[in-house]
Structure 1
Amino acid sequence: MSSYLYRESAAALAKEIERSSAQELRPLTRTLIEEYKRQHKKKHGQEKEPGDSLVEAWDNSLPVVINALTGRGLGEVEVLIEFGLPHTDAEADVVLAGVHPGSGQPSYVLVELKQQREARVHPERSVAVDLGYDKWKLHPVRQVQQYCRYLLQYKASLRGDQHAVAGAVLMHNAHDADVAELFRLPATDHGRLYTRDRLEPFRKLLGARLAPRPGGEAAQFLIDSAEYAQPKITDVNHGSRVGEKELFVLLDEQELACQDVLEAIDRVRSGGTKEIIIVRGGPGSGKSAIALELRRALAYRGWDVRHASGAKALTESLRVSYAQDAPRGKKTALKKEATRLFTYFNQFKEMGPDSCDVVICDEAHRIRRHSVDRYTRKEERQNPEPQADEIIAAARVPVFLLDDWQSLRPEEVGTADYLIQRAQELGLRHTLIDLGGMFRAQGSGYYRDWVTNLLSVGDRTPQAWKTDGRMQVLTAETPQEMEDFLQARRLEGASTRMVAGFCWPWSKPTEAGELVADVTIDGWERPWNVKPGQAVPDAPAAELWAIDPRGAGQIGCVYTAQTFEFDWVGVIIGPDCVWEDSRFVIRREATCDPELKPRKVADADVERCVRNAYHVLLTRAVMGVVIYSTDETTRDALRSHVIDTVMHPIPKPMRKIVKR
């Protein structure tokens, strides 16, 4: 079931927008403010005031839409304000629900409200627009076009009916001449710009899409519609061979980043200089979706593009899924092609300058200081090139997608600041794009922030969890409770995994070919996933643990879980991260990670890597997470931060999710 802030017919809302000269805000605006605070308190336990720009849009822009409806005799059309898009925290400003005057079927118009009086487009980035904020924003017409397409992809009631939804951007304060550059972007039925000079065409759009009939049934139909589950990265990768088949519908900063890369490579191929694109975002912000959609779009245009990472689990999973369902006689060739297309950061030192058009560095926070390893010749060890420089040299347009808080090893240096520094020292132009959306944890940006606060990443302060109606957070008193709960979810059809901090040894299989139950907790014992380079019957290889259903019986470590996501995840917090003095502290002596054991590794690096590891593990879930700590004091602290336990009945999900 979709969320929204407020819902009423246009005729009813028309009465609420009438304002006397003594009133600072319209009655409707005051109602929306109170409803916003009420919903926030219900979700998070405390009230929150809406931002000034939101209040101004409700008070100044929303009435223009309502008057346009009533002026066309469309007072019975239903108005949904701040309508939440599936699986994300993005919201459409207004959705108008009614009946199509021609077909008699449900019909919807998405309206994005912009109060700016002027706007300009970036001279070299066609969808980057200056709307008076401190950074470039996605062109509002492209924004609403993508919102329409996103609803069509995920709402089961709309699937296959491209004409059921129309999109409009309303800049009622601006004249055409003041936003002339915005009209360069081609308009479609899913997105068109209307200004102060085009209010009559806007009214005509409403009349063409909505009949003077009650829209309540159409609104409820959309709200109650089942929603298709989001595709997993490896689920769709094999579809990228088709080329023209779009993998993901990108929203807001995601789409801005994608278009920036496409236009940068156009400039470079036309004789321009090398450009570097850096895309920074937290867990679930859609970085890997951008990476795979870019790879597909660029390959379809005939450009030489490579997907690179420093994580074996990600790269090998992508290689396997790329050749999945290959036509008869094509599998061997596709496996070879996958090896070339999906590669590792340290392989670019062997490539010549500008030897490929684009290198897309997924999980770029795992870039190392250099590519030296045990196979590197002695003479090359003396003064090695930075690994980032090797990648930059090999690509005409290098693209780095990263999270500043997901590096896991002391030698990993991939932060936005570091890459900007490399670009500057190399004398190259760069573009930094920050992703603000959330496409995991049922779109719960609040959960992502809560995890960051809980672990004091970036010196944040832990806060109690308040259910937000999206993500479910539970604690377990024993690891067996956690496992039983996950098993029940798996029987319901959910994907589940157990993961843990690296606090137990990781043994090779026995001579009989069996996994060793290394993770032992008060009589409960389970094995890690298969050790890299080893093979065990009836268990997936380490790099395939995340995508093979047989992985549910083993404990995954951060190196096999990073990048991937599952419906439910059980997280075991080990003795390397315990609660003291109202926050988590790191105990270096408890880690078994061989990368962090040497004395030469600084305490600060151990602290950073362990916190980041749990940050990764706690943000792998789509629907819910179960947390268990081996430390009794920490369990007590978690109880005070997370009220619900696995012994409570599981809440019913807000949305009906349809598996693909």
Structure 2
Amino acid sequence: MPWEKSLPLYLLREPASALVKEIERQPGMSHRPLTERLIQAYKDQHKRSTKPDDEGTPPGKTLVEAWENSLPSVIDALHELGLDDVEVFIEFGLPHTDGDVDILLAGVHPGSGMPSYVLIELKQQRKATVHPERSVAVDLGYSKWKLHPVRQVQKYCHYMVQYKAVLNGKPDSTAGAVLLHNAHDDDVRGLFELPASNHGRLYTADRLAAFRRFLGARLAPRSGAEAAQALVDSADRPLPKITDVNQPLHGGSAHLFELLDDQELAHQDVHEAVQRVRNGGTKEVIIVRGGPGSGKSAIALELRRTLAAAGLDVRHASGAKALTKTLREGHIQQAPPRMKGKFDREATKRFTYFNQLKKLPSDSCDVVICDEAHRIRRHSIDQYTPREERENPRPQADEIIEAARVPVFLLDDWQSLRPGEVGTAEYLAERARALGLKHTLIDLGGMFRAQGSAYYRDWVLRLLSVGIRTPQAWVPDGRMQVELAETPQEMEDFLSMRRFEGASTRIVAGFCWPWSKPDDNGELIPDVTLGEWRKPWNVKPGFAVEGAPDAEFWATDPRGSHQVGCVYTSQTFEFDWVGVILGPDLLWREGQFVTNRTATFDPELKPKGIAQADIERCIRNAYHVLLTRGIMGVVVHSTDEETRDALRGHLITSVQHPLPSSMRKIVQH
């Protein structure tokens, strides 16, 4: 994958010498001068309106306390060691995510003379305990178990080496540390059981001298300005997509997806649950919940890789045909000469569907990884189900749980698309309890899409009034780009330019037009018609059209950019830029979106007996999916004039500089 330049985000960058005086307390000030600077910088980065009096969202109490009480320990250590010329980054943003390194030091290695970087995580806690059954789950006084801080900084180092060009292939250029300056060894004894490495060690109040020796071993008393600027100027490797899972690994990496924070906690929890069960324990259920871009599919595919590498029988299951067929095809493409049949059979076994798991004997595999588990249905009844099973069907979730010793469910509570889909975290926890099984729920907090804009993800939920939320104006946050197209042609022109620049793009729409099979000449019918602008849907399942990808591969085949995709073919996948057509099933009225069930062409929502609440949920969730497919940006167009007025005046700005007609054919082809 190519490297790309992106704007690094951090609150402050200064040589240590410039910060020494700023950590001194001043009479009459509630905080140190450095803390006051950081509070203001944070507010400036987190303004959520364009009003002149918007002072920005203030940082949380825990963050301010870390700046006030923990930062001075690091600055003092640098000063005492004569490392005043080392460059200090505070809250350095990890590429593509909303995660930050508390402190990143840039300097010169005293031995090699090469650029050297030290990542430091600051913790305020005086006490900490490790979960008795989960080696990397730690109680740091929060309301939930968190990833062990040493593993956290180790993964941050690995992530930077994998995604920063200046560090790629140079793991020795980074080192990591956790500083619990308030804690004594005896009060955090359990934390030392996790093996330390150059990428992560633990230091307490009893080990401040060792912390200083660590800094002195990694940084020379020389200017770090050149190393710091090299990091700022460094290109980033784009995050891998689901479709990259079978591509060659980059830069000597041992794996494709580098898991962070809650992702790594979930990954390790599954491995340890498997080990407990194999050692004679009872079946355990793991539930992982996260919003769009939180890395659920990355966890699923990394689990499948690492568990299979450990010799376990592991199945990846989904309710989405496009995802399953894409993963199967990727595996088959790796087949050596004359081995395609064997790889085809392996792919069918490894990547399956929820409703196929009922055919497996009880506990017949070690792990079933249910990706997109929000699409689990009430039951697995189909046209071939015997009458006796139809009369008293088992819950589909129970069939899945029975099939594996450790069933794993990864889901988003706001992505179910059909009335019969029931896969929420609450429902699956209820099924585990009903079966008398232990379950673990892990909530993912990170954001690995939309340029790491968790704000955008929350804005979409607010825009659609999903859950108890009120729409709010979009304010550019320096990460995700949000645009309004006044016409569908303007949207297409804008996306054509992005594709001409090398970006992946797709147009998607609400299911508000018929979906025809190809005509008698084998051509796609332009069902999506808005005035003079006409486009076909992606190829209907079961049909083949020359020059267009099959339905299951619309999201991954470049030719898919010439058709409009629906939610069923785009869910799970992501594109650099996505254009979203809001159809007449979603209209802005009296300050918020309302749904219009008469406008939908989705056959799953057409039967008269479907409750209005289910219609509401499915329509809003469908647009929630469509609006969160973009990595870099989204362009929105509504078929309704009143809705466009509302979007234009209240929410987002219009696309600037539409493509001249003279350039349209050149760029589109």
Q: What is the CA distance between 1:640 and its match in structure 2?
A: 1.9
What letter matches 2:644 in structure 1?
R
Is the Cα–Cα contact under 8 Å of residues 107 and 223 in structure 2 kept in the other structure? yes
Is the Cα–Cα contact under 8 Å of residues 238 and 324 in structure 1 kept in the other structure? no
Aligned residues, how many? 648
Partner of 1:226: 235
Distance 2:65 2:253 in 1: 41
What letter matches 1:531 in structure 2?
K
Distance 1:449 1:131 in 2: 26
Which 4+ residue blocks in structure 1 deviate beyond 4 angstroms?
Answer: 42-45
Q: Does residue 450 of structure 1 match 2:479? A: no
What letter matches 2:202 in structure 1?
L
Is the Cα–Cα contact under 8 Å of residues 237 and 292 in structure 1 kept in the other structure? no
Segment drifting more, 8-17 vs 381-390: 8-17
Partner of 2:528: 519
Q: Does residue 33 of structure 1 match 2:39? A: yes
What letter matches 1:16 in structure 2?
E
Q: What is the CA distance between 1:511 and its match in structure 2?
A: 1.5
Partner of 2:167: 158
Partner of 2:352: 343
Q: Does residue 504 of structure 1 match 2:513? A: yes
What letter matches 1:131 in structure 2?
L
Partner of 1:646: 655
Distance 1:522 1:101 in 2: 68
SS for the counterpart of 1:572 is: strand
Distance 1:160 1:196 in 2: 34
Partner of 2:496: 487
Distance 1:185 1:417 in 2: 32
Q: Does residue 270 of structure 1 match 2:279? A: yes
Q: Does residue 92 of structure 1 match 2:98? A: no
- The partner residue of 2:629 within 620, 624, 627 is 620
Change in 2 beyond 3 A, CA 1:641/1:324:
farther
Q: Deviations over 1:81-114 (max 9, x none)?
A: 0000000000000000101111111110000000
- The partner residue of 1:116 within 97, 122, 125 is 125
Is the Cα–Cα contact under 8 Å of residues 588 and 606 in structure 1 kept in the other structure? yes
Is the Cα–Cα contact under 8 Å of residues 48 and 57 in structure 2 kept in the other structure? no
Partner of 1:2: 8
Distance 1:514 1:555 in 2: 15
- The partner residue of 1:574 within 565, 580, 583 is 583
Is the Cα–Cα contact under 8 Å of residues 16 and 84 in structure 2 kept in the other structure? yes
Is the Cα–Cα contact under 8 Å of residues 570 and 625 in structure 1 kept in the other structure? yes
Q: What is the CA distance between 1:536 and its match in structure 2?
A: 0.9
Q: Does residue 49 of structure 1 match 2:58? A: yes
Q: Deviations over 1:464-483 (max 9, x none)?
A: 11000110000101101101
Partner of 2:24: 18
Partner of 2:667: none
Distance 1:244 1:149 in 2: 9
Change in 2 beyond 3 A, CA 1:649/1:177:
farther
Q: Deviations over 1:547-587 (max 9, x none)?
A: 01110000000000000000000000000000111000000
Is the Cα–Cα contact under 8 Å of residues 359 and 399 in structure 1 kept in the other structure? yes
SS for the counterpart of 2:616 is: helix
Is the Cα–Cα contact under 8 Å of residues 304 and 356 in structure 1 kept in the other structure? yes
Partner of 1:430: 439
Q: Deviations over 1:448-494 (max 9, x none)?
A: 01110000001311111100011000010110110111111111110
Identity of aligned residues (%): 70
SS for the counterpart of 1:97 is: strand
What letter matches 1:13 in structure 2?
L
Distance 2:65 2:524 in 1: 61
Is the Cα–Cα contact under 8 Å of residues 162 and 253 in structure 2 kept in the other structure? no
Change in 2 beyond 3 A, CA 1:111/1:495:
same
Distance 2:230 2:247 in 1: 34
Partner of 2:666: none
SS for the counterpart of 2:257 is: coil
Is the Cα–Cα contact under 8 Å of residues 26 and 33 in structure 2 kept in the other structure? no
Q: Deviations over 1:53-107 (max 9, x none)?
A: 0000000000000001011110110110000000000000000010111111111
Q: What is the CA distance between 1:302 and its match in structure 2?
A: 0.2
Distance 2:493 2:28 in 1: 62
Q: Does residue 416 of structure 1 match 2:402? A: no
Q: Does residue 207 of structure 1 match 2:216? A: yes
Length-normalised TM-score, structure 2: 0.95
Once the two structures are superposed, the pairs formed by residues 312-391 of structure 1 within 5 Å of their partners are 312-391=321-400
Q: Deviations over 1:344-373 (max 9, x none)?
A: 000011111000000000000000000001
Distance 2:129 2:210 in 1: 23
Q: Give RMSD over aligned pairs.
A: 1.4
Partner of 1:531: 540
Is the Cα–Cα contact under 8 Å of residues 239 and 245 in structure 1 kept in the other structure? no
SS for the counterpart of 1:316 is: helix
SS for the counterpart of 2:637 is: strand
Change in 2 beyond 3 A, CA 1:311/1:335:
same
Is the Cα–Cα contact under 8 Å of residues 415 and 625 in structure 2 kept in the other structure? yes
Is the Cα–Cα contact under 8 Å of residues 101 and 208 in structure 1 kept in the other structure? yes
Q: Deviations over 1:106-133 (max 9, x none)?
A: 1100000001011000000000000000
Segment drifting more, 40-49 vs 139-148: 40-49
Distance 1:576 1:85 in 2: 39
Is the Cα–Cα contact under 8 Å of residues 244 and 297 in structure 1 kept in the other structure? no
Gaps of 5+ in 2: 1-6, 660-669
- The partner residue of 1:563 within 561, 572, 591 is 572
What letter matches 2:450 in structure 1?
A
Gaps of 5+ in 1: 651-660
Q: Does residue 142 of structure 1 match 2:151? A: yes
Partner of 1:397: 406
Q: Deviations over 1:360-417 (max 9, x none)?
A: 0000000000000112111210100000000000010000000000000000000000
Change in 2 beyond 3 A, CA 1:469/1:244:
closer
- The partner residue of 2:609 within 596, 600, 606 is 600
- The partner residue of 1:287 within 296, 303, 311 is 296
Q: What is the CA distance between 1:641 and its match in structure 2?
A: 3.2
Is the Cα–Cα contact under 8 Å of residues 3 and 223 in structure 1 kept in the other structure? no
Distance 1:355 1:213 in 2: 61
